[in-house]
Amino acid sequence: MVPRVVLLSAALPLALGWWANRRTTLGHTFFWITLAWLAWLGASWNREGWWPYLAVSMTCCAGVAVLGARRPGVTAWHAVVAGLAAVLLLPLAETFFSQGEPPNSDDLRTTFLAVATAVGLLNYLPTRLGAAAVALLIAVACELYLARWLTGSTWHETAILLAGISPWIAWWALARGCPPTDRASRWWLEFRNRFGMVWAWRLREQFHNSSTHRQLGLELTWSGIRRTDGQEMNESDRKVAAEILSALMTRFGLGEKTVEGSPPSPSKGPTLGLQC
């Protein structure tokens, strides 16, 4: 009963996350996140049916959806994720047409699903969402592996609890706020935690190329922006760094405003997804 209540309560941080990211390309990802939450909710009521497998599959799709969250192409990426969903849900179709038992995919399918889900979740491991990603990854492991070979409902209840608590862990981690830093670094930290490691490394490469081409002597580290010569950044450095980041983040639904304004995230609204 408690895991189910926790999972139901996760609707609040998920709603706050959607509100905070609704103007970014991650707004598209929340379609798949909502499907995953609904599937986990169904799994909390029916352990023996096909809901647990569906929950893991939708979790995998939500993680992969982040990897295409960039303009142009973010809308078309839904077709890619839908194709992945179709492949993952083949065991459900086979079960339906054969009128057999709940899906119990073979080792190859299970391995593929586990690896694909891990890629999407571990994308956030080095960010502030790392603890939430690990909690959800353990929930997936419980459904894919432990619950497959062990009897009883203990591991299933654990999976439901972890799936329900992971959005709250993410909310707590992001609500702690940013350390005192310059505006450009704060934008970077917000982007890093929203989009994860894959897009963060890509943005770092683009920033490095721009800085090298313009001979600015600036670099984008995992924790912020600094000068390559080790000196303190001056106001001119901060301004040009913010200009570069603003231009690079436009493709993600961020950075449309100039450096004189605030970042285009609804920072006066709910804080989930906004803090570093």
Cβ-proximal residues to 151 (8 Å cutoff; 6+ apart), any chain = none
For residue 51, pLDDT over 70 is answered with: yes
For residue 180, pLDDT over 70 is answered with: no
Q: Phi-psi region for residue 178, left (φ > 0), alpha (ψ -120 to 50) or beta?
A: beta
What pLDDT score does 259 carry?
34
| Structure tokens belonging to residue 227 | 């000068």
For residue 30, pLDDT over 90 is answered with: yes
Alpha helices in 70-182 (DSSP H): 77-88, 90-98, 107-122, 130-141, 147-149, 154-175
3-class DSSP state for residue 267? coil
pLDDT, tens digit (0-9, with 9 covering 90-100), for 75-109: 999 999 999 999 998 887 776 666 555 555 567 88
Higher pLDDT, 185 or 58: 58
pLDDT band at residue 266 under the 50/70/90 scheme? very low
Q: For 168, list phi and psi in degrees, rounded to 5.
A: -70, -35
pLDDT, tens digit (0-9, with 9 covering 90-100), for 185-220: 888 999 999 999 999 999 999 999 999 999 989 999
- pTM for this prediction: 0.85
What pLDDT score does 175 carry?
84
Cα 187 to its chain centre, rounded Å, is 17
Q: Please provide the size of the chain in residues.
A: 276
What pLDDT score does 256 carry?
47
